[in-house]
Structure 1
């Protein structure tokens, strides 16, 4: 069970870069950007704590930079920061699935705006904000929010099982 979370994130990372691109062909009007691994990291941050989310976010963001970006550090910084912020209020959020969904949607939204702002600020992206918002931000938030709805309950069950195992291990010591 110890390696389950990294394996799930790796699988989500692979799906968003391969299968999703095949199953959902690009359109001229919308850019559907899957952030499935990031959504899982936000959930991990909520249930396991901000520091854990920061670590998972930083590592996965570095992979995102290396595989998909020509600038190293933008996604590493963005994933880590947003995951950390998402996990700060974890105790009050994790018992309410609707609030978990709100945090996921806000985190994905924040990630898209932050990375757009960084790329736009350094002159790497020249798309006006209105076009970005309509073509990429809104479709991405909808897509990843839907993924969050699908994955939230199974992930919660995984965390409950991990918590029971931890309690069992501590009790047996």
Structure 2
């Protein structure tokens, strides 16, 4: 049953992403800022840092699956979120091996990974021809508000999920080692 916890949590977060802007105060939405919740990506960063071990890649697998589901449900082009999320979670997983998993590393990897994922999505959409927003406008109208709003989610989630993910990761390791 514990194997289903992570996919169920990711699914719930993905559904909440769809209504996230409705939960924000109206004063934030009336100006020209475009805030995109990347809550699934944030939770995948937590999985990569605190659940996965050096030789397990559950976070990358979940990034592929839930990136594709996000593409199917919320976007027009298939594979954009799947590719961006999987690639950057793989990078976060690799950097996690070099850094100790604490709140500062989580914030650093979360912000950098999120910014790079959003830029990758923007660049793919620009190449495909879906968007034609200038780079300067993109930075001020979308990227900065998106990173700041998702940083709030990252910080709010930290005390809730870190101990659970670490414990579940240890249990996963214990199940895979017959020693």
TM-score for the superposition, normalised by structure 2: 0.87
Work out the number of aligned pairs and report it.
172
Contact 1:42 1:83 in 2 (8 A): yes
Contact 2:72 2:78 in 1 (8 A): yes
CA distance in 1, matches of 2:88, 2:112: 9
- Partner residue of 2:140? 134
CA distance in 2, matches of 1:23, 1:72: 27
**CA-CA distance at 1:100 after TM superposition:** 1.1
- CA offsets, 1:17-50, max 9 Å, x none? 02x1221243332111111111001111122157
Q: What is the alpha-carbon root mean square deviation over aligned residues? A: 2.0
Runs of 4+ off more than 6 Å: 170-173
Is 1:97 the equivalent of 2:103? yes
**CA-CA distance at 1:92 after TM superposition:** 3.6
Is 1:80 the equivalent of 2:82? no
CA distance in 2, matches of 1:44, 1:23: 25
- CA offsets, 1:117-156, max 9 Å, x none? 1111222211111111111100010011111111123221
Contact 1:32 1:139 in 2 (8 A): yes
**CA-CA distance at 1:51 after TM superposition:** 2.4
- Partner residue of 1:27? 30
- CA offsets, 1:63-98, max 9 Å, x none? 111011111111111111111111112234343210
Change in CA separation of 1:154 and 1:93 when aligned onto 2, cut-off 3 Å: farther
* RCO comparison, higher one (Cα < 8 Å, 6+): 2
The match for 2:41 among 17, 34, 38 is 38
TM-score for the superposition, normalised by structure 1: 0.89
CA distance in 2, matches of 1:160, 1:46: 9
Change in CA separation of 1:29 and 1:40 when aligned onto 2, cut-off 3 Å: same
The match for 1:119 among 116, 125, 130 is 125
CA distance in 2, matches of 1:170, 1:81: 26
| Ranges in structure 2 where 5+ consecutive residues have no aligned partner | none
Change in CA separation of 1:32 and 1:164 when aligned onto 2, cut-off 3 Å: same
CA distance in 1, matches of 2:21, 2:164: 28
